[in-house]
Amino acid sequence: MQSGRVTNSEEIKVTNPEEIVITGTNRLVGGLMKVQRAPQAVSSVGSDAISLKTPLSSPTQLISTIPGVNAGSTDAYGLAIRNYVSIRGFDQTEIGWLVEGVPGIDPATYNPYTEAYADNENISDITVMAGNSRLQDPILNATGGEFIQSIRDPSNTFGGRLTGSLGSFKGRRGFARVDSGEIGNTGLTSFLSYSRTGGDVYIGPGHSTRDHIDFKAKKDWGNSSTSTLFVSYNDLVNARLPIITLATFNAADTANDFSAIPYLGTYPATGSTNYFRSYLFQRETVMVSNKNDITLSDTTSLHITPYFKYTRSVSPGGTSVVPTSAYNGATRITPVFDPALLVGGRIYATNNQLAKQYQYGVNAFLEHDFSDTNHLILGYWYDKWDDRVQAVLNPLNTNGEVGGIGPNYALRAADGTAISGSDFKIETEINQLFIGDTQSFIDNRLQITLGTKYTIYQASGTNYLPGSQAGFKATIKKWQPRLSVSFDATSQIQLYGNVVMNARMPLPITTYVNVYNVSTGRPTVVGNTAAEAETSVGEQLGLRYHGAFNLDANLFHVKLQNKQVQSLQSINGTNLQAVLSAGGVTFKGATAEVSSHRYAGFSLYANAQYLDAKLDDNLPVGTDFLPTRGKSMVLSPKWSYNLGLNYDRGILFGSATVKHVGSQFSTLMNDEKMPGFTTLDLSVGARLPSVGFVQHPVISANFINLTKGKYIASVATIQNASNNTIGLNGSTIAGTKPGYYMAAPFAATVSLSIDF
């Protein structure tokens, strides 16, 4: 962990102001701050800061101390898929996620699933751009900002690393990496790593596991050109926690008895939809990135990144059906079944939604310097994605077990027709052109950039269930212009500002496809091919100072149209992505990030955000309107801050971090809110002497949520209103209680790592 003072020997590349490329030793406060030059709010977590966290942390947890980031997780080890993160009031589906030049989101739901990207030991940097995104990045949902994760390059010498971790709730992790070094004199290097992580659910039954492989090869071509191949494989089995109401949590918290909250660990003879084995989520992913940075001349370079992604997932949930009222889509069927499966007139089952996704594309752009003061970027992004989804009921026997998962074990009629509420294929195609030009003035102290994106988004598919929908097709075209300005007032002070339009396309599977209730045959989701994109127009003004201390502060204002609020909805027992339309929203606020240099081994870090987010429109509900205009936006805490103290002096190192997130509303009517919380995390460690082939051994201990007991981490199901409300036209609009996820309580881990 370095002091972070910028010296004359350090060089910052600013030719392309949207490119975040930093050379030299300019880390600030252990990787929690870096010298930034881009004309927008940018914060980074470097490898130094990542090394202080427990190796079991997910990338979502690693960025939780960045200004304006509101993160919650239901487990301490990044194994839960229900990690939640928002930035400046924008949820994770409104953030562009990029990994080694590859779009990181699940194109079906825009959820990031960050635990699948890479192991922490292989991450060189995570950068968050609040309220903005880079022109050249292949993303289609960044109305709220962008997350950029970079993977370390292979070492030029042979070696490797071993890491082992033990923790609370049977937390276990092992990691091994081998670097090949340069192979002959070819300029080719590579590394291969494997890890396995496991941990118990902290309340009730269930154990989650994650198996992960990373591979990266790099080839230097001798003319400042490089090619890399990154391959990531992840296999996750996640034991979920149930969604609870605020009343349920408060009652359990008052009695200090949370035993009634978890899923059942033993299947009852009377049958149940609340058995934990019916909620074991499975997700297998493969990601391939082939980045090529080609120097064509002293003034021209070409960047080409083809990529491929594969995902197989099983989203389960407990349900039951009455045999005389069972449906495939809108058509009633009579299932054939073993009479022993009938309990109290019902058949209990796991509704397993199986999905197979294939995604491939290429992002290419050219950079050219017309002069020493003018820089052009011109590019094209193409992406193709298809998803085959089928949900079937796999019946439970008297022990709560299924004969198997998937269509081969489905509950069916005599003619082979399965009971199903979802059975469709959907595909999307993206064609995007982008161009930007930067003109510098006053010896490059003043830079003005003007650019735009033009996106053509097409979605189409087939619904195989009987009902009102057979095929569907939608097309959206969007311009996204931008303007940014930066000015170096002195060698230590930079002023910047920008005006940027961003867009988020509708969530495919929650927007375009009819989904049916298997007990009634009625649609629970009705496809809407006329849905519009969510669009934002944001402005930022900022100031950076790097001198006696380090400061980055900015003011922001965002006008959002057609706001799509992420939530969950129980469909045939499975909690699936849902969207609430909130109309227009205005966000405004301020963030500040400050750090000291290191003195006697100690350094300080702090950041804070003030956020004011208001709904601009009344919400239509049926033939009436909820009076939501002027209400505060959900998931938008007014105040949040982080305080950090780091120590690093020779053998010993450590850090302490206090995080506070204010209360946030969970309904658009603001009649219920999630309580605020404050947590303390502590890390301590020692660097031990090298012995023989054991190089740089490090032992560390991490204490997560040291002072806070059980608390609510995030809102799972956002509602229009918690209580019955009189609409503007006089009708009574029914309220529904929001649902929440509990946060992981105190957890401790011990880790040992060695290089060889």
Per residue in 268-285, pLDDT (tens digit) is 999 999 999 999 999 999
Confidence of residue 578 (pLDDT cuts 50, 70, 90): confident
* 595 in Cβ contact with 607 (< 8 Å): no
Domain-embedded: residue 600: yes
**Residue 414: what residue type?**
A
Strand 27-28 to 33-34 pairing? antiparallel
Q: How many helices (H) and strands (E) does the chain have?
A: 4, 48
How high is the pLDDT of residue 576?
Answer: 84
CA distances from 573 to 491, 578, 719, 742 (A): 60, 14, 18, 20
Sequence-separated (6 or more) residues with CB below 8 Å from residue 174:
163, 164, 165, 195, 196
157: helix, strand or coil: coil
Residues 661 and 676: their CA atoms lie apart, in Å, by 5
Confidence of residue 490 (pLDDT cuts 50, 70, 90): very high
Chain centroid to Cα 580, Å, comes to 19
What domain range includes position 735? 27-755
242: helix, strand or coil: coil
Angle in degrees, CA 14, 123, 643, rounded to 5: 80
**Residue 624: what residue type?**
D
CA distances from 232 to 104, 173, 566, 584, 744 (A): 12, 18, 27, 39, 27
Confidence of residue 75 (pLDDT cuts 50, 70, 90): confident
pLDDT over 70 for what percent of the chain? 96
CATH classification of the domain holding 697: 2.40.170.20
Confidence of residue 654 (pLDDT cuts 50, 70, 90): very high
Q: Which residue has the tokens 């509990």?
A: 742
Phi, psi of 70 (to 5 degrees): -115, 105
| Torsion angle defined by CA atoms of residues 635, 639, 642 and 643, in that order, rounded to the nearest 10 degrees | -160
* Strand partners of residue 484: 449, 498
Domains of the chain: total: 1
Q: Indicate the pTM of the whole model.
A: 0.93
How high is the pLDDT of residue 274?
Answer: 96
Confidence of residue 48 (pLDDT cuts 50, 70, 90): confident
- Determine whether 730 is exposed, middle or buried from the number of CB atoms within 10 Å of its CB (0-12, 13-18, 19+): exposed
Confidence of residue 1 (pLDDT cuts 50, 70, 90): very low
CA distances from 615 to 584, 586, 632, 665, 690 (A): 6, 7, 6, 12, 59
Domain-embedded: residue 183: yes
Residues 193 and 751: their CA atoms lie apart, in Å, by 17
* 605 in Cβ contact with 29 (< 8 Å): yes
DSSP state of 9: T
Mean pLDDT value across residues 480-499: 97
Confidence of residue 77 (pLDDT cuts 50, 70, 90): confident
* Strand partners of residue 171: 167
| Torsion angle defined by CA atoms of residues 295, 436, 149 and 41, in that order, rounded to the nearest 10 degrees | 130
Token pair belonging to 433 = 């052109």
- Average pLDDT value over all residues in the chain: 92
**Which ranges of 666-706 would DSSP assign to H, the alpha helix?**
none
Token pair belonging to 645 = 């103290």
How high is the pLDDT of residue 19?
Answer: 64
Confidence of residue 708 (pLDDT cuts 50, 70, 90): confident
Please, what's the b/e burial string for 450-484 (b: 16 or more CB within 10 A of its CB; e: otherwise)? ebebebebebbbebbbbbebeebebebebebebbb
How high is the pLDDT of residue 24?
Answer: 37
Residues 493-536 have pLDDT tens digits of 999 999 999 999 999 999 999 999 999 999 999 999 999 999 99
Phi, psi of 625 (to 5 degrees): -135, 135
Domain-embedded: residue 11: no
How high is the pLDDT of residue 30?
Answer: 46
How high is the pLDDT of residue 728?
Answer: 97
Domain-embedded: residue 572: yes
Domain-embedded: residue 278: yes
- The enclosing H or E element of 255 equals helix 246-255
Confidence of residue 342 (pLDDT cuts 50, 70, 90): very high
DSSP state of 22: B
Residues 576 and 570: their CA atoms lie apart, in Å, by 6
- Determine whether 370 is exposed, middle or buried from the number of CB atoms within 10 Å of its CB (0-12, 13-18, 19+): exposed
* 207 in Cβ contact with 199 (< 8 Å): yes
- Determine whether 734 is exposed, middle or buried from the number of CB atoms within 10 Å of its CB (0-12, 13-18, 19+): exposed
* Strand partners of residue 291: 228
Domain-embedded: residue 415: yes
How high is the pLDDT of residue 372?
Answer: 94
CA distances from 365 to 55, 224, 293, 724 (A): 35, 17, 10, 53
pLDDT over 90 for what percent of the chain? 83
Mean pLDDT value across residues 710-726: 94
How high is the pLDDT of residue 20?
Answer: 59
Is 65's pLDDT higher than 80?
yes
How high is the pLDDT of residue 3?
Answer: 30
Q: Is 29 left (phi over 0), alpha (psi -120 to 50) or beta?
A: left
Confidence of residue 577 (pLDDT cuts 50, 70, 90): confident
Minimal CA–CA distance to 220: which of 180, 190, 179, 177? 190
Mean pLDDT value across residues 670-695: 94
Is 172's pLDDT higher than 80?
yes
Residues 386-397 have pLDDT tens digits of 999 999 999 999
Token pair belonging to 54 = 């427990």
Is 74's pLDDT higher than 80?
yes
Is 349's pLDDT higher than 90?
yes
Domain-embedded: residue 181: yes
Token pair belonging to 431 = 């064609």
Domain-embedded: residue 604: yes
Minimal CA–CA distance to 322: which of 312, 330, 332? 332
How high is the pLDDT of residue 581?
Answer: 85
Furthest C-alpha separation in the chain: 84
How high is the pLDDT of residue 37?
Answer: 84
Residues 639 and 152: their CA atoms lie apart, in Å, by 35
Minimal CA–CA distance to 542: which of 505, 624, 503, 487? 487
